[in-house]
Amino acid sequence: MSYILSLSTSSKQGSFSIAKDRKVLYSLAWQKANAHAEVLTHFLNEAFHFLEIKPAQIKLFICDIGPGSFTGVRVATATIKSLAYHAKESRILPCTANELLIQNLYLLKKPICTLINAQRQEFYASFYEPGKTKMLCKRKVQLMNINKIEKYLSKNHILLGDGSDIFLNNCKESVKKKCIRFGDGDLDYPLAKNAFHLLESKNYQDRTIDWKSLEPLYIRASSAEEKLISGDLKSARNYVRRKDK
């Protein structure tokens, strides 16, 4: 198998990994909320130089398409698109940030609820159950408020994601008793090297796409777009017209 590169910048933690024959050769994670573009190109160039390879040698890219930070998701998808465009005959495996959170946790054999903070006490939530050989998605990622999440937590679940503690601080006491926090917060952010577990699925190739088809996963409008829709934020065109009068 050729080189594989996985990338995640949907949260305040950015990370990427490069593997060959599914063996990780280089892995890096950093904290740079809403500013991953400032460091990512430099970090990637360092990795390519260290491994003495060229981006064109990568034949499979795994991209965290979100949900999460709008800026961060755009950074990952734009970077992967550019790299894949120059790596002829390469393919891209898109994955959600929620998928990355639950990879490598199958051995726990417990249901998992992933909660990514979407602000204003809303969350990008998804639910998983242990199957025979891997975690199975029972409810795909969607925007939920606290009340809706509580309805799906009828039994014990491990909570993962940077929205977990926010949820626990605001949910009902009866629901809180069914929630299990795992680790000390180090597992609450998507990690690129976890993406290689996706390749253990026999049909992962069916999910691969070309660089033209890669798109970020935006479940809700950005804050600026919501203000524009509600009328709280006027368009730049209207502002210019008012100044001209």
- Tens of pLDDT, residue by residue over 112-145, are 999 999 999 999 999 999 988 889 999 999 999 9
Residue 235 in any domain: the answer is: no
DSSP assignments along 142-161, one per residue: EEEEHHHHHHH-SS-EEEES
What pLDDT does 122 receive? 97
Query: Is the peptide bond between 67 and the residue preceding it cis, with omega within 30 degrees of 0?
Result: yes
CB 114, CB 101: distance < 8 Å: yes
Has residue 237 been placed in a domain?
no
Sole residue written with tokens 């965290």? 64
69 and 35 share a domain? yes
CATH number at residue 125: 3.30.420.40
Q: pLDDT tens for residues 68-119?
A: 999 999 999 999 999 999 998 999 999 999 999 998 787 788 999 999 999 9
Backbone angles phi, psi at 197, to 5 degrees: -65, -25
14 & 88 share domain: yes
Residue 222: predicted pLDDT:
63
d(CA 113, CA 124): 10
- Burial (CB count within 10 angstroms: exposed 0-12, middle 13-18, buried 19+), residue 140: exposed
Pairwise CA distance, residues 125 & 98, whole Å:
8
**Residue 93 shares a structural domain with residue 25:** yes
**What are the structure tokens assigned to 212, written together?**
């033209």
Q: Looking at the structure, do residues 176 and 213 belong to the same domain, yes or no?
A: no
On whether both 120 and 154 belong to a single domain, the answer is yes
- Residue 238 maps to a domain: no
pLDDT band at 225 (very low <50, low <70, confident <90, very high): low
Q: Verify that 48 and 121 share a domain, yes or no.
A: no
Q: Are residues 16 and 125 in the same domain?
A: no
State the residue range of the domain holding 173.
106-181
Reduced to 3 states (helix: H, G, I; strand: E, B; else coil), residue 22 is coil
| Shared-domain flag, residues 208 and 93 | yes
Phi, psi torsion values for 87, nearest 5 degrees: -95, 95
Assess whether 89 and 209 both reside in one domain.
yes
Asked if 15 contacts 29 with a C-beta cutoff of 8 angstroms, the reply is yes
Q: Are residues 39 and 75 in the same domain?
A: yes
- pTM score over 0.85: yes
> How many structural domains is the chain composed of?
2
Look at residue 234 and tell me if it is in a domain. Answer: no
Q: What is the pLDDT of residues 17-55, one digit of tens each?
A: 999 988 999 999 999 878 999 999 999 999 999 999 999
Q: Would residue 70 count as lying in a domain?
A: yes
How far is the C-alpha of 240 from the C-alpha of 245, rounded, in Å? Answer: 9
In a domain, 231, yes or no: no
